[in-house]
A and B are shown apart, each in its own frame.
Chain A
Amino acid sequence: QKEVEQNSGPLSVPEGAIASLNCTYSDRGSQSFFWYRQYSGKSPELIMFIYSNGDKEDGRFTAQLNKASQYVSLLIRDSQPSDSATYLCAVYTNAGKSTFGDGTTLTVKP
């Protein structure tokens, strides 16, 4: 079992819909959770982070964390074609170590 698991996708949603991306992790000592967006051939770009249970909103993005279930998700409202990318979940477990999932590819169709 991988330390951080994501559905590889591809996930396809129509423009304007809500995209829901999920991530589970195995280390209960994990402290902080990050979502990155990565366009093909480019490096990861930080979208947002969360470290407390519940929801955190930033513009069209909402991160949700449930430590009891070891689950973190990212919701993208009003999805746009420019949101089409691979979304990486990263989990920070101890000093200096972040573990990434393999990403979920999202396609937003006009």
Chain B
Amino acid sequence: DTGVSQDPRHKITKRGQNVTFRCDPISEHNRLYWYRQTLGQGPEFLTYFQNEAQLEKSRLLSDRFSAERPKGSFSTLEIQRTEQGDSAMYLCASSPLSGVDTQYFGPGTRLTVL
């Protein structure tokens, strides 16, 4: 499978716990994105990497959220001290550096905070 993969697919946690999600982009894609999506809404931009550099971060992202892409390949998204409002689908997408920014999404990680 050469598509974008995400792990885990589902995560249930208790309020106050930390969680970490992983995204493996399409191998030749330099750009990697994280989005959050809640029911009835479109994906909401969180952050963007070009290779290992984090170039853009949403103002909506609180200090509890952090993302890394240390070697320019896979990326992790960590949420500290989770809150019930963090319950959502977390989507990762990747795109090639050249040409139109066509983003291909992974299957997502569904987070439920109890």
The finding on whether chains A and B are genuine partners in a shared complex, rather than unrelated, reads yes
By a beta-carbon cutoff of 8 Å, the part of chain A in contact with chain B is: 4, 8, 32, 34, 36, 42-46, 49, 51, 88, 90, 92, 95-103
Do residues B102 and A44 form an inter-chain contact, with CB atoms below 8 A?
Answer: no
Interfacial chain B residues near A46, Cβ < 8 Å: 102-105
Chain B's closest residue to A6 (CB) is B42
Report, nearest first, the 7 A-B pairs whose CB atoms are least far apart.
Answer: A100-B42, A96-B48, A43-B105, A96-B56, A102-B42, A43-B108, A100-B43
With an 8 Å Cβ cutoff, the count of chain B residues facing the other chain is 24
Nearest chain A CB to B23 CB, angstrom units: 12
Tell me if B's interface is mostly helix, strand, loop or mixed: strand
Do residues B102 and A49 form an inter-chain contact, with CB atoms below 8 A?
Answer: yes
Interfacial chain A residues near B60, Cβ < 8 Å: none
User: Per-residue 0/1 for B44-83: is the Cβ within 8 Å of any A Cβ (1 yes, 0 no)?
Assistant: 1100101000011000000000000000000000000000
Do residues A34 and B91 form an inter-chain contact, with CB atoms below 8 A?
Answer: no
Interfacial chain A residues near B102, Cβ < 8 Å: 34, 46, 49
